[in-house]
Structure 1
Amino acid sequence: MKMFGKSKRLYETSKRHLASGVSSNLRSEMKPVPIFINKAQGSRMVDEDSVEFIDYIMAYGPQMLGHSHPAIVDAIKSQIEIGQTYGAQHKGEIELAKKITEYVPCAEKVSFSSTGTEAVQLALRLSRAYTGKQKIIRFDGHYHGWADTIAISFTEGEELSNYKNPKSSPSTAGQNVNALTDVIVLPWNDVEMLEATINEFGGEIAAIITEPIMCNSGCISPKQGYLERMRELASNKDILLIFDEVITGFRLGLGGAQEKLNVTPDLVTLGKAVAGGLPLSAVGGKKEIMDLVSDNTVYHMGTQNGNPLSVSAALASIKFLSRKNGHVYKNIETLTNKLTNNLEKLAEEYKIPLLINKQGTIFHTMFTSYKEVDTFYKFQQRDIPRFNKFTELLMAEGVAVRPSGLWYLSVAHTQKDIGETLDKIEKCFNKMKKEQ
């Protein structure tokens, strides 16, 4: 059996019918080829060549309970027998909204959508409507979806002192360049730049949107006092603070990063881990802001918003995660610590310059000479080609990891998975050492 043989053939066929051959450009980054999966269960995926992979991509974050978890499967089966989507309300939406307001500190009311990109657009629209202002502050290296009004191209190799303020440029060809006119891009973790910008433009700024932890680019933590100062500055200037917790919501804990960091925003966007692998996102926030949707001041529409299948999966997932006051998170973190601690030891043994930034059940690995990566600039200096080679070697060993270096663990991962993964990592390190 030739590894990836069927995936290569299917990819070539797919490119004849499906634009780019994949349904999300991110998937084309996988080497040597975007793999085609036949089935997935727990912590494992099996491709069309019947090769089994220990999965640390976890659908780019949503599979908090692992693939095809019985609680999710049973909930969907029960729902699908009585209806898939109605174009009308159902009781599950009330129950799910109540659960989110129970666990997420800032959420007094919520609105449902299907993707993180949609949730961000609603949060921005609410901010502008509520404040009567137009400008938005966002940060270099943070990801808030691919809509024209917020997607930007990231800087490459610029020191913090080289940033110009304001600064924004489109992320892709075809993007409406005028859509970014009111977007100010700043370096994250730089409190002086933030203060200066708010002092200059404060009367025009509707919102600050930020990942509370910079998960997409290095799992970088906020510097001590940074988010607290951001919260203070926003409040003083009548600016809404939005936490994009599409990654961290229900993954770092039931209350997400805002509970973990003890900083409460005005609005939050949720997605990925909320619905056990099904498409569902949400915006939560203060009642007086969310009520702009209630009275149609802000339009919020979508045929699939709050669809019964996704809602049933979300309720099942949250019910499972909340057992014993969320004890399952501690179990996943224990496995994460075992994997990362031993990975660091192997890297040291093989003299590979590996750095790991870890946040609960998520961690980011990178090859870099830095002893600490606490800014996007430092993250951009990592050895990307060498890490791409490492992930390609891992794929050949049956371990699925994102080329970006972001790893996700789930309820389904086991001590056996960690042991096997470390053995396979050592094989890859050995190969890399011989090729030096």
Structure 2
Amino acid sequence: MNTYEMSISRLQAAKEHLAGGVASSLRASMKPTPLYAESAKGAHIRDVDGNEYIDYLLAYGPLILGHAHDGLTENVIQAMRNGYTFGLQHDGEIKLANLLAEVLPCAEKVALSGSGTEAVMLALRLSRAFTGKTKIVRFHGHYHGWSDSIFTSFPSSDMSQKASTGEAAKIPPGTFGQSENSLEDIIILPWNDPKALEETLRKHCHEIAAVITEPVMCNSGCIQPLPGYLEQMRKLTEELHIVMIMDEVITGFRLSLGGAHGRFGILPDLVIIGKAMGGGIAISAVAGKAEIMKLVDDGKVSHLGTLNGNCVSTAAAIATITQLSANNGAVYNQMEELFVELAEGIRLLLGKHRIPGIVNQIGPVFHMMFTDALEVNDFDTFNKRDSAKYTHFAELMLEEGVLLRPNGLWYISTAHQKSDIEATLHAIDRALIHL
């Protein structure tokens, strides 16, 4: 049986001076305790108590090449030897911008930043400046970072706030301490509801600057868009002079080299990318139409950030994208094949143990949930899942040597092998006995 005494001890020590004992509130939800890592390589991670795990958490998504990837590490070290950051321009910025314009179908120009939250803030600012309007349409169950201007309540096993259902006079903030006034420009809609989308956009088009959407609801069940839904969104926003923003912080460089918009063949006005882009090094970007990005060129929209486009982050992104691009992106087929095998294996095991559950999978990402529903295709149904049961399952899986995110979202990396999938399915088989 695994012991977690060293992790528990370190958490108590951390709480003396580190608020919450963790550097991100999201990590506090892990049971039986937030783990402390000692080392990691490839698809495997080791904690300070000596427990080893096959890792499907992958740092909440960025580690698409796995842990401590040799090529990425070498490129980052070489960049650091030349200087971490200059406060001046360097060739890495040019090379990365050119690379992004090459691989992202919608990217005519890009702006580099440090996190997904920062990139969302820039995309919203660009949209308002470009249209001269202020309102932003977003959707229940989508996550666009934690800035006050966009962070609405988001129910899951690792975020404590409760969401309202349907439209409300006052949109509930995502956290205590957040000004409710900051959300006055937000219109929140159910996703995958074509009628609600069209009625709202037509009624309020004179004040809506942008529609921001995740192309797939990865955090909330990996719910895919209904056939024609994103196409409808694209058509309406073009007709009504509203900026369409795809938040691809999760799906960018994960669903394909061109992200979800490349996979689906939809060209938004702006796309936000992060997480997998840097392979574990912090970097994000906004990419899109030159006529919108020109607002940064002209100085009409300020784009600030001391470490934007620093040498280390640009080197990491270039190395990651280069690795993913090799052999015409062959690693995407490899990851997807392994995850299809794992998802199908989990479904069979749920049937074997007579436990109601669903695995929603698209490409190299899926969401596993315990539910009596026959399918989960909307946010309301997703919210009826047994999240407590899944949290317990994730804890059982730690005992079996598999690290999972407590909310049900699984990631895979290019480092995972067929042997990892087989070992994981054996571990799930043993864990399900105890549910």
- Specify the TM-score bucket, using the shorter chain as the normaliser: over 0.9
Instruction: Report the counterpart of residue 142 of structure 1 in structure 2.
Output: 142
Partner of 1:34: 34
Per the alignment, residue 129 of structure 2 pairs with 129
Secondary structure of the corresponding residue to residue 187 of structure 2: strand
Matched residue type, 2:250: I
Note if contact 1:37-1:45 (Cα within 8 Å) is conserved in structure 2. Answer: yes
- For 2:72 and 2:139, the matched residues in 1 are separated by 35
Picking from 250, 259, 266, the partner of 2:262 is: 259
The offset of 1:119, in angstroms, is 0.1
What is residue 190 of structure 1 aligned with on the other side? 193
Q: CA deviation at 1:196?
A: 1.1
Determine the C-alpha separation between the residues in 1 that align with 2:9 and 2:399: 17
- Any idea what SS the aligned residue of 1:420 has? helix
In structure 1, what residue type is equivalent to 2:12? E
Q: Give the aligned partner of residue 431 of structure 1.
A: 434
2:71: which partner in 1? 71
| Aligned counterpart for 2:253 among listed residues 228, 250, 253 | 250
Alpha-carbon distance, 1:164 to partner: 2.5
Is 1:299 aligned to 2:302, yes or no? Answer: yes
The answer to whether 1:290 aligns with 2:284 is no
The 1:14–1:135 alpha-carbon spacing in structure 2 relative to 1, beyond 3 Å, is same
Change (3 A) 1:157 1:279: closer
How far residue 200 of structure 1 moved from its aligned partner, in angstroms, is 1.4
Structure 1 Cα separation of the partners of residues 78 and 179 of structure 2: 44
In the other structure, the counterpart of 1:348 is 351
The match for 2:59 is 59
Distance, in Å, in 2 between the alignment partners of 1:117 and 1:311 is 18
Match of 2:202 among 163, 186, 199: 199
Aligned length: 429
- State the partner residue of 2:383: 380
Instruction: Indicate conservation of the 8 Å contact 1:166/1:184, yes or no.
Output: no
Equivalent-residue separation in structure 2 for 1:212 and 1:431 (angstroms): 36
Question: Does the 8 A contact of 2:163 with 2:172 survive in 1?
Answer: no
User: Does the 8 A contact of 1:166 with 1:185 survive in 2?
Assistant: no
Aligned to 1:110, the other structure's residue is in SS state strand
Q: Give the structure 1 partner of residue 110 of structure 2.
A: 110
Does 2:52 match 1:49?
no
Pair 1:25-2:25 in alignment: yes
| 3-state SS of paired residue (1:124) | helix
Q: What letter is aligned with 1:367?
A: F
Q: Is the 8 A contact 1:41 1:69 kept in 2?
A: yes
* Matched residue, 1:179: 182
SS in 2 for 1:299: coil
CA–CA distance in structure 2, aligned partners of residues 380 and 72 of structure 1: 38
Three-state SS of the structure 2 residue aligned to 1:316 is: helix
User: How is 1:280-429 mapped onto 2 (pairs within 5 angstroms)?
Assistant: 280-429=283-432
Q: How far apart in 1 are the matches of 2:50 and 2:90?
A: 40
Any idea what SS the aligned residue of 2:46 has?
strand
Give the secondary structure class of the aligned counterpart of 2:373. Answer: coil
Contact 2:143–2:154 (Cα < 8 Å) also in 1: no
CA contact 1:241–1:266 (8 Å) conserved in 2: yes
Tell whether the 8 Å contact from 2:2 to 2:51 is kept in structure 1 after alignment. Answer: no
How far apart, in 2, do the equivalents of 1:406 and 1:2 lie?
Answer: 23
Secondary structure of 1:141's counterpart equals: coil
Q: Alpha-carbon deviation of 1:17?
A: 1.3
What is the one-letter code of the residue matched to 2:95?
E
- 1:119 and 2:119 matched: yes
Inter-partner Cα distance in structure 2 for 1:274 and 1:257:
13
CA shift, 1:166, in A, is: 6.2
Rounded to whole Å, the distance in 1 between the matches of 2:318 and 2:205 is 40
Cα distance in 2 for partners of 1:128, 1:164 equals 23
Q: Secondary structure of 2:282's partner?
A: coil
Deviation at 1:276? Answer: 1.0
Q: Which runs of 5+ in 2 are unaligned?
A: 156-161
2:243 pairs with one of 225, 240, 245 = 240
Gaps of 5+ in 1: none
Contact conserved, 1:167 with 1:186, CA < 8 A, in 2? no
CA distance in structure 1 between the aligned counterparts of 2:103 and 2:361, rounded to whole angstroms: 23
Provide the C-alpha distance between the structure 1 equivalents of 2:203 and 2:24, rounded to a whole number of angstroms: 39
What is the root-mean-square deviation of aligned Cα atoms in Å? 1.2
Rounded to whole Å, the distance in 1 between the matches of 2:21 and 2:107 is: 39
Structure 2 CA distance for aligned equivalents of residues 8 and 133 of structure 1? 50
2:433 is paired with a residue whose SS is helix
- Aligned partners of 1:66, 1:60: CA distance in 2, in Å? 12
Amino acid at match of 1:35: L
Deviation at 1:391, TM superposition (A): 0.4
Residue aligned with 1:385, SS: helix
SS at match of 2:87: coil
Note the C-alpha offset of 1:154: 3.7
The letter for the 2-side match of 1:205 is I
> Cα distance, 1:295 vs. partner?
1.1
Q: Helix, strand or coil for the counterpart of 1:126? A: helix
One-letter amino acid of the counterpart of residue 54, structure 2: I
Q: Secondary structure at the match of 1:81?
A: helix
In the alignment, the residues of structure 1 paired with residue 365 and residue 105 of structure 2 have an alpha-carbon distance, to the nearest angstrom, of: 21
Q: Quote the residue 2:88 is aligned against.
A: 88
Helix, strand or coil at the partner of 2:82: coil
1:220 counterpart = 2:223? yes
Aligned-partner Cα distance in 2 for 1:157–1:33: 26
Matches of 2:313 and 2:349 in 1, distance apart?
A: 41
Question: Letter of the aligned partner of 2:358 in structure 1?
Answer: L
Shift of 1:167: 5.4
Q: Deviations over 1:83-107 (max 9, x none)?
A: 1111111101111111111111111
- Asked if structure 2 preserves the Cα contact closer than 8 Å seen for 1:79 and 1:312, the reply is yes
Could you give the per-residue CA deviations for residues 16-64 of structure 1, whole angstroms, max 9, x where no partner exists? 1100000001101110000000111000111001111110000100000
- The 2-side partners of 1:415 and 1:231 are apart by 39
Q: Which runs of 4+ in 1 moved over 2 A?
A: 154-158, 164-167
The share of aligned pairs that are identical, in percent, is: 49
| CA-to-aligned-CA distance 1:259-281 (integer Å, 9 cap, x gap) | 11111100000000001100000
The normalised TM-score by structure 1 is 0.97
